[in-house]
Structure 1
């Protein structure tokens, strides 16, 4: 089955499913794809670079971005930090004719659907719930309380899969990245007629 190629792809999925890792693989192997960098009020994790992984901003700076309409979407995630997608760079990439991808959370994807329903909405799913738990614990970047909060959020996020146009199962990072790029540039959907890409 084929679908029309979409210049704007919105990627979401449960916490710890590997959205950032898959996005990094797209960035590395498909430089023609423009990937949005989110703004966030959370502190950087080890190895994260301001302007590359996220725009790390203060609460006051984030408030100003919201008040001035400079965010395409924003949300408070895990009952803690706020995340948002700067509007200007997305509009510039699309105006330049580049395939563009937003890697955002579920709340953000719902907001973008309201304002840009023509985008293609892709849910990145783990191979299993057990694998998702293993990945989250294996990161070692969160406290026990934070892990518990994220797993609770992930259960809610997993239940939203049906809201998306296509599901890609993240079994192998580069395969998932290639499937995303194919959806943006070719409109290709592997498989007979299922929207779930294994």
Structure 2
């Protein structure tokens, strides 16, 4: 019988990878696309470990690139289930880079991926709940509730608002646009 709730620590995943020249962009920094691929992989691993099912990425709510990553640095991604719904999970990911020579560690990225557990036919599956064990766990869960409410409010507003209306054209006054109607 599948458990109804799991501790966050039971699903946490951590991976490290050495950043190679083949991962770099034209500026010699690690390409954001490479990092996004790693983020998606660890979100999948963490969500699948929690749900004991294959997962798909439903949305990427936030990806904050805080510091560039250099070739030759060791990048570590740490993923945790921060929130669960019926079949969805928000996976919080922290990315740190380490200069191998100096030992200096930088927080480079924070991301939130919403993953959904699926069966072989592609139908959503229920996921175990979370056992919140401390203030940190509670804070992360509540922040996800807040982020979800803001997301749904934004989606509703964008769906219900006709932005082509001339009443919104004044919003463009302070931006670097030229209107030629």
TM-score bin, normalised by smaller chain: under 0.3
Taking structure 1 as the reference length, the TM-score comes to 0.23
* Higher alpha-carbon Rg: 2
| Structure with the higher fraction of residues in helix conformation | 1
Q: TM-score, normalised by structure 2?
A: 0.25
Structure with the higher strand share, 1 or 2 = 2
